[in-house]
Amino acid sequence: MEELWRRACVPASALERLAEADAYRALGLDRRGALWAIRGLADEALPLFVAADRGTLAGIARAHLRAGETGVRLVVGCRLDLRDGTALLVYLTDRAAYSRLCRLLTLRKGCAGKGGCDLGWQDLVEHGDGLLAVLVAGAADATLVARLERLRRDFHGRAYLALALHRRSGQAVRLRQLADMARAARVPTVATGDVLYHVPQRRMLQDVMTCIREGVTIDRAGLLRERHADRHLKAPEEMGRLFAHRPRF
């Protein structure tokens, strides 16, 4: 029962309702045995991991398998780079949303050819039911204001602005400006790690991947490389510390 709980990534209360309906006979558990097993599960929430690959869901099957093996709740997502320069993180709330996003990516990749994805805003809106949309902020300018208004209009109640630390000059001012613009647009903000690799030691591999993408050698990569080795996974406590003195979200 514990393995089922971890793989299904659902609250124990949902499993208990199924047990009340005697739904575990196929697993060799009668109603009473299933209830006892479920009530013996740990009460604490499972650790949470949010996956968002760029322009694809190809790695989600393996991520789901690993989540079941490690007891981590997986939130499935994808980064979308639209043809007008807008970048969003979209997260799926149900299986139907997953199907719609798969269909959208298949159609638009087919139109763009190998390695591309010709995706417009209206394409996303038409397939956007069940998606949580998180706008990736660029400069704090009039373009961002327009994108925030469009986001709130088309994803009302499911729209967010991502805030991330980039370790550059004027970062505190930029975060304050972004938070103020989001508040004016009535779009909630979320703190993100803008993660590229899972541990700091993978920074060198990230540099190699950057060189492959840009078609340059490591000696000529220059500012194409990441300036800091902190775009790795961080614990919630560390994220809280990093954003402790930032605008309230």
What is the dotted CATH code of the domain comprising 77-242? 3.20.20.140
State which residues of the chain have pLDDT below 50: 43-44, 46, 249
Locate the domains of the chain by residue range. 2-39, 77-242
pLDDT tens for residues 17-45? Answer: 787 888 778 777 887 777 767 666 654 45
* pLDDT at res. 91: 92
* pLDDT at res. 10: 60
What's the predicted TM-score (pTM) here? 0.74
Q: Tell me the residue type at 105.
A: L
* pLDDT at res. 242: 83
Whole-number Å distance between alpha carbons of 87 and 83: 9
Q: Which two tokens stand for residue 226?
A: 């990441």
Q: Which residue has the tokens 């930032």?
A: 246
The beta-strand segments (E) located in the chain are: 48-54, 73-81, 87-92, 131-136, 159-163, 189-191
* pLDDT at res. 127: 92
* pLDDT at res. 146: 95
- Give 240-248 contacts, CB < 8 A, sequence gap 24+: 242/165, 242/191, 243/163, 243/165, 243/191, 246/163, 246/172, 246/175, 246/179, 246/191, 247/163, 247/175, 247/176, 247/179, 247/180, 247/189, 248/179
